């Protein structure tokens, strides 16, 4: 299913178990960041939304 350009980055939240929610990321963004499956990321709450960054020791 191809999305229109203006709706390409609109995503839904999904329930993942009983205490978590999940959202899918566009594959183009993941590829640009060179992220891999099962890679650890850091999720932070910021004013107006969330920030997802690569996790580093």
Q: Which domain holds residue 36?
A: 5-54
What does residue 51 show for φ and ψ, rounded to 5 degrees?
-125, 130
For the chain, the domain total comes to 1
Alpha helices by DSSP H, listed for the chain, are 27-33
Strands 14-16 and 41-46: unpaired
pLDDT at 8: 78
pLDDT in tens, 1-42: 566 667 778 999 999 999 999 999 999 999 999 999 999 999
pTM: 0.72
């Amino acid at each position: 299913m191809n999305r229109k350009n203006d709706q390409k980055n609109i995503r839904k939240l999904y329930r993942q178990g009983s205490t978590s929610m999940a959202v899918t990321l566009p594959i183009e963004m993941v590829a640009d960041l060179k992220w891999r499956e099962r890679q650890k990321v850091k999720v932070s709450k910021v004013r107006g939304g969330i920030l997802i960054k690569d996790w580093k020791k």
